[in-house]
Structure 1
Amino acid sequence: MIEIEIVIRTVASFGLLLMAERVLGKQTISQMTIFDFIAAITLGAIAAGVAYNTSKKPHNMAISFLSIKNRKLRKFFVGDPTVLIQNGKILESNMRKMRYTLDYLNQQLREKEIYNIEEVLFAILETNGKLTVLRKPQFRYVTKQDLMIEVKGENRLPIELIMDGEIIENNLKQNQLTEYWLLEELQKRDVKVKETVYAVLLGNGHFYVDQYKDYISVPIDIE
């Protein structure tokens, strides 16, 4: 009877872990908040305990699960997003509170192609540690939809055709492309296969080629 109870408990614990995955979401460890990470480990430990410790009552695990799902408890452990920039002004007090340095703030902005803080309407440090940015209206990108320009549809992913000077023959075959067509495209650009680092057919039909020799007279290398 004990073995049957353990099997039932194991199945129930596994089911509860699947439910927990829905609550915590599909996040990588780098995207998890501290609370999410601790909660995931705790749930695993609780599930193992419930499955094999017959003295532990199943309702204890349900209570633990509900506490994780509870919004107020979650807010208590996770906290709220913090505004670091408002209307182009850095909020130093919030920066100090979050132990966020100006160097790291500038790095995060550059990763979002922002080099002028005055362009930022709001920069918010989310609970998972990521910085989200809303530009001022005058600095936001204009889309083709804004200009009412017809857009050519894309119905496939980019296809890698050459990598490190070698043709990827499987990709040619799988996409009904021929080596003759590929060589012809390279010839149009006066490029040889062995001179090519990377060649890809993009979703919009554009053929992109990068050579070993970049023909840049003064390369910028900032460390």
Structure 2
Amino acid sequence: METIYRTIIVFMAGYLFLRVTGKKAVSQMHTYDLLYIFVLTNIISTPVENDHLGKAIIYAGITVILYKIFIRLSLHNKLRWILNESPTVLIHNGDIDRKGLKKARMPINELLSHLRVKGYTDIQNIAIAIMEETGNISVIPKADYRPVQPNDLNISVKKEYLPIPLIMDGQIVYHNLKYLQLDREWLLNELEKVGEKIETIILATFLDDGTLFIDNNEVEEHDGDPYYYKPGRDN
């Protein structure tokens, strides 16, 4: 029983510290971001094995403060170049930068793999590829190979709209209904029109024309149709 409540306390303390730190610590990983995660993880897991719960939480709090100081210092223009690694050029004007690859410790096959993930198969089509300070790779194609934009064709397009979820996994998202100044009764009426029930709906979103898009648990079968092939043994 003691082990259970110790584990719960440690878990909640670690969660609160990470919430105070912010999302950056678990998204864009700089060197000190990764170090922070490793150190904090080791500190907060220690009380599960011994009786130093109070000390561990104090040490974890100190670690959070140090990390926040590092984040603050990294915002300073002069210190940023010391605390953060500078971007590394991997490809420039269609040519592989061997010095950049060596600095990034990246073999050619790994570079080609990263390019394929981003949809590029020929390095000659790339204006510049950079390993950013966070370890992510940015790829900018040459002008002749970049995707055509509506502005290139003098085409005016409507403003981008993000469909708003109103039902997710059979549960009504009430704060989105409130944002749209709608209510549960309106939603139920819309579902009744199409013969749907809340509990059978995986996702229902509010579209820009005021209608609902509904994805329920029903799957339309297309046995034998090659255009609807699904990999795996369950096809």
TM-score (ref. length: structure 2): 0.52
Confirm or deny that 1:143 pairs with 2:149. yes
C-alpha distance in structure 2 between counterparts of 1:105 and 1:206, whole Å: 45
Q: Percent identity?
A: 34
Look up the match of 2:25: 28
Counterpart mapping for 1:40-189 below 5 A: 44-45=65-66, 69=76, 71=78, 74-102=80-108, 104-154=110-160, 157-164=162-169, 166=170, 168=172, 170=174, 171-172=176-177, 174-175=179-180, 176=182, 177-184=186-193, 186=194
DSSP-derived class of the 2:81 partner: helix
Look up the match of 2:49: none
C-alpha distance in structure 2 between counterparts of 1:152 and 1:80, whole Å: 39
TM-score (ref. length: structure 1): 0.55
Look up the match of 2:229: 218
1:193-216 Cα offsets, whole Å, 9 max, x none, are 666432323457675444542646
Letter in 1 for 2:140: L
Runs (5+) with no aligned partner, structure 2: 1-21, 37-61, 223-227
Aligned-CA RMSD value: 4.3
C-alpha distance in structure 2 between counterparts of 1:67 and 1:152, whole Å: 39
DSSP-derived class of the 1:181 partner: helix
Letter in 2 for 1:44: I
C-alpha distance in structure 1 between counterparts of 2:151 and 2:201, whole Å: 35
Q: Which has the higher contact order (CA 8 A, sep 6+)?
A: 1
DSSP-derived class of the 1:149 partner: coil
Deviation at 1:134, TM superposition (A): 0.6
Of Structure 1 and Structure 2, the greater helix share is in: 2
Q: 1:146 to 1:47 in 2, by over 3 A?
A: closer
Runs (5+) with no aligned partner, structure 1: 1-24, 49-64
1:165-194 Cα offsets, whole Å, 9 max, x none, are x2526244652253222444x56xxx8766
Deviation at 1:82, TM superposition (A): 1.0
C-alpha distance in structure 2 between counterparts of 1:47 and 1:192, whole Å: 48
Look up the match of 1:16: none
Q: 1:198 to 1:149 in 2, by over 3 A?
A: same
Look up the match of 1:201: 206
DSSP-derived class of the 1:150 partner: coil
